[in-house]
């Protein structure tokens, strides 16, 4: 009867791989995923603020439209010249409200882009530091072996 002695190197390699994966998870993956989640939360917050600003803009436009209707009703009673001046004023108000809305939306978009860029740079720094730490931890072990 022939007895086969199992080769334990496979088991040792499996254990080493599992240890490596646990270390990578704690050192690299968890902080990286946490940073991504923070970035997503920041972006969501900025988008919510942009939506709120857009809602406020819509309310302002509704108010302006109500004012426009009142001005139109009153302008029927006034001479042609007064009607012309009133319409010009309303147009200026609408243009200003639209410009303000566009400016707020643009500012919010720029802020989102700025925050995303900052987060990207922060993540790059974190990744580089983690990579350096991993290399420093691995190289002394390789030199000792």
Task: Domain ranges for the chain, please list them.
Answer: 32-144
Sign of CA dihedral 14, 15, 21, 24: negative
Least confident among 36-40, 77-81, 93-97: 77-81
pLDDT recorded at residue 142: 62
Instruction: Look at residues 137, 126, 139, 122 and name the one whose alpha carbon lies nearest to residue 28.
Output: 126
Query: In terms of pTM, does the model score above 0.75?
Result: no
Distances in Å between the Cα of 21 and the Cα atoms of 8, 13, 87, 96, 103 are: 20, 12, 71, 58, 49
């Amino acid at each position: 009867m022939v007895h086969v002695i199992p080769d334990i190197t496979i088991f040792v390699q499996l254990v080493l791989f599992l240890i490596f994966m646990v270390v990578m998870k704690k050192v690299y993956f968890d902080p990286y995923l946490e940073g991504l989640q923070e970035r997503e939360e920041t972006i969501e917050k900025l988008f919510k603020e942009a939506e709120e600003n857009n809602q406020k803009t819509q309310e302002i436009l509704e108010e302006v439209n109500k004012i426009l209707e009142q001005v139109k009703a009153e302008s029927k009673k006034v001479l042609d010249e007064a009607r012309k001046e009133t319409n010009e004023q309303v147009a200026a108000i609408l243009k200003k409200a639209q410009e303000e809305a566009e400016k707020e939306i643009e500012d919010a978009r720029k802020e989102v882009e700025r925050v995303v860029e900052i987060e990207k740079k922060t993540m790059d720094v974190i990744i580089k530091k983690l990579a350096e730490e991993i290399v420093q931890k691995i190289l002394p072990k390789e030199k000792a072996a």
